[in-house]
């Protein structure tokens, strides 16, 4: 088992200066404490969204969020080596077997779901069954590749509850999918089959061409002709407007392109990640935490989205790790600024009543899900804290 037991109280930067990181080390220790405390309460359930009393609402096994609890547990195992985290993470494996057995549940989120569960298990424990499940998930993700359009289809025409949304999902590419490519890169590394890598590279190129705007902002989704693959139009789903910039979508792309650059060494992916991150930084101004959409009008409620801040922080530290000298210092400083904003305004690890780590997330503002704990905010908060401290072993 690979366990990183080191404690970091200061990280030597490229420029030779020492960043003060003890605040992040202490926060990470509180995250571990919180995970230990709530483990008997959460059990095998899947946190979906916070309640006003800072406990969780839970969801069934076919939800895109089901791996964020296990992702935190695998990170905790890596940090501590404590069997309690291994047992809790491993006990969740049946959830992921179930996803593979339900065709309506298998969508582009297989990447989130399996990287942070079965791939993590394989990397940490060399479990052959975990590897097998991860590869089956990667095959199912690869099967979503649309040859004419050169993209991975995001959602399914039927929901797991039997509802139809064929018209809405057809030909639609979404920013979030950039996070799911890691499963394909991993499957390529494991098997040597070029199809996995080629589909991931092609999807990233399509995303770069059509979802990233020339000013460094991004569309949440983009629609393609389902037969010819011709690009049609950008549209939003969770953002303020079609031409606006949904902050979590921008964060998914920053982390996703940085992740691609880290895995493949692709300089163009790194440049796109830089451009998206610099634009988000400019749009944030002095805000400690990103607003849910960078282009809302003045009469629109300016809910914050702590999950966007956490995802972006983790991505920005990846960019820092791929750059040197003054540029690395600049990205580390932006990552630190994002973490400081979260720690100052959203940190729940000092509130003993809370079951999660971060407050003030915005799941879907127009659907009324605002100002709440979110399991993905929590997972990326831990990842960002670890990256800020120099950890390099993750599951993507
Ligand atoms: N991937 C779904 C979301 O970010 O809400």
pLDDT in tens, 53-62: 999 999 999 9
Looking at residue 105, its pLDDT comes to 96
The answer to whether residue 7 scores a pLDDT higher than 60 is no
- Provide the whole-model pTM: 0.96
Pick left, alpha or beta for residue 160 (phi over 0 → left; psi -120 to 50 → alpha; otherwise beta): alpha
Q: Cα(306)–Cα(363) distance, rounded to whole angstroms?
A: 10
The answer to whether residue 131 scores a pLDDT higher than 90 is yes
CB atoms within 10 A of CB 26: 15
CA of 20 to the centre of ligand 1 (A): 32
The whole-number average pLDDT for the span 2-9 is: 36
Can you tell me which residue has the tokens 């780590």? 357
The model's confidence at residue 133, banded by pLDDT at 50, 70 and 90, is: very high
Strand, coil or helix: 147: coil
Q: Between 193 and 168, whose confidence is greater?
A: 193
- Any catalytic annotation for residue 109? yes
Name every protein residue with a CB atom under 6 angstroms from any ligand 1 atom: 64, 176, 238, 248
Looking at residue 12, its pLDDT comes to 57
Report DSSP letters for 308-331, one per residue: HHHHHHHHHHHHHHTS-HHHHHHH
The whole-number average pLDDT for the span 9-26 is: 73
234 forms beta bridges with: 222
The model's confidence at residue 3, banded by pLDDT at 50, 70 and 90, is: very low
Q: Which domains does the chain have, with CATH numbers?
A: 27-388 (1.50.10.10)
The whole-number average pLDDT for the span 379-383 is: 99
Looking at residue 162, its pLDDT comes to 86
User: Which ligand 1 atom sits nearest the alpha carbon of residue 248?
Assistant: 4
Q: At what angle do helices 194-210 and 128-142 cross, to 10 degrees?
A: 50
| Contact predicate 175/211, CB 8 Å | yes
The answer to whether residue 108 scores a pLDDT higher than 80 is yes
Looking at residue 60, its pLDDT comes to 94
Nearest by Cα to 76 from 1, 131, 178: 1
State residue 50 phi and psi, 5-degree precision: -75, 155
pLDDT cut 90: percent of the chain above it: 93
User: Which ligand 1 atom sits nearest the alpha carbon of residue 363?
Assistant: 5
CA 161-165-169 angle, 5° bins: 120
Strand, coil or helix: 126: coil
Residues whose CB is less than 8 angstroms from the CB of residue 104 and which lie 6 or more positions away in sequence, other chains included: 62, 156, 158, 159, 160
**Best residue for ligand 1 mutational test, from 49, 64, 293 (most atoms within 8 Å of Cβ):** 64
The model's confidence at residue 18, banded by pLDDT at 50, 70 and 90, is: confident
The answer to whether residue 390 scores a pLDDT higher than 60 is yes
Instruction: Find the radius of gyration of the CA atoms of the chain.
Output: 19
50 forms beta bridges with: 56
Looking at residue 167, its pLDDT comes to 86
CA of 16 to the centre of ligand 1 (A): 38
State residue 255 phi and psi, 5-degree precision: -65, -40
CA of 94 to the centre of ligand 1 (A): 23
| Contact predicate 342/309, CB 8 Å | yes
């Amino acid at each position: 088992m690979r366990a990183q037991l080191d404690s970091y109280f200061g990280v030597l930067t490229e420029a030779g200066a020492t960043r003060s990181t003890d605040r992040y080390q202490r926060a990470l220790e509180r995250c571990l404490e919180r995970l230990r405390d709530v483990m008997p309460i959460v059990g095998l359930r899947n946190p979906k969204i916070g309640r006003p009393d800072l406990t969780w609402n839970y969801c069934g096994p076919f939800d895109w969020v089901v791996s964020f609890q296990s992702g935190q547990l695998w990170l905790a195992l890596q940090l501590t080596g404590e069997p309690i985290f291994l047992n809790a993470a491993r006990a969740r494996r049946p959830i992921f077997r179930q996803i593979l057995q339900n065709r309506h549940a298998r969508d582009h989120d297989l990447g989130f779901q399996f990287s942070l569960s079965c791939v993590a298990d394989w990397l940490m424990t060399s479990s052959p069954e975990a590897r097998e499940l991860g590869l089956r998930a990667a095959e199912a993700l690869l099967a979503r590749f649309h040859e004419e359009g050169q993209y991975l289809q995001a959602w399914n025409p039927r929901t797991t509850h039997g509802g139809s949304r064929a018209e809405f999902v057809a030909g639609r590419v979404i920013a979030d999918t950039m996070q799911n490519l890691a499963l394909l890169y991993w499957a390529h590394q494991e098997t040597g089959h070029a199809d996995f890598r080629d589909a991931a590279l092609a999807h990233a190129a399509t995303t770069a061409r059509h979802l990233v705007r020339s000013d460094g902002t991004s569309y949440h989704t983009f629609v393609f002709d389902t037969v010819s693959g011709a690009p049609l139009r950008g549209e939003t789903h969770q953002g303020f407007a079609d031409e606006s910039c949904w902050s979590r979508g921008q964060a998914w792309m920053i982390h996703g392109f940085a992740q691609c650059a880290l895995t493949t060494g692709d300089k163009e992916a790194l440049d796109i990640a830089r451009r998206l991150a610099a634009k988000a930084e400019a749009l944030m101004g002095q805000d400690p935490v990103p607003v849910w959409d960078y282009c809302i009008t003045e009469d629109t409620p300016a809910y914050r989205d702590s999950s966007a801040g956490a995802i972006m922080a983790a991505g920005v530290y990846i960019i820092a790790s791929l750059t040197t000298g003054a540029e690395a210092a600049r990205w580390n400083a932006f990552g630190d600024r994002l973490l400081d904003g979260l720690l100052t305004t959203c940190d729940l690890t000092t509130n003993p009543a809370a079951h999660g780590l971060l407050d003030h997330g915005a799941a879907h503002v127009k659907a009324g899900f605002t100002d709440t704990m979110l399991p993905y905010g929590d997972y990326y908060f831990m990842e960002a804290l670890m990256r800020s401290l120099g950890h390099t072993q993750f599951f993507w």
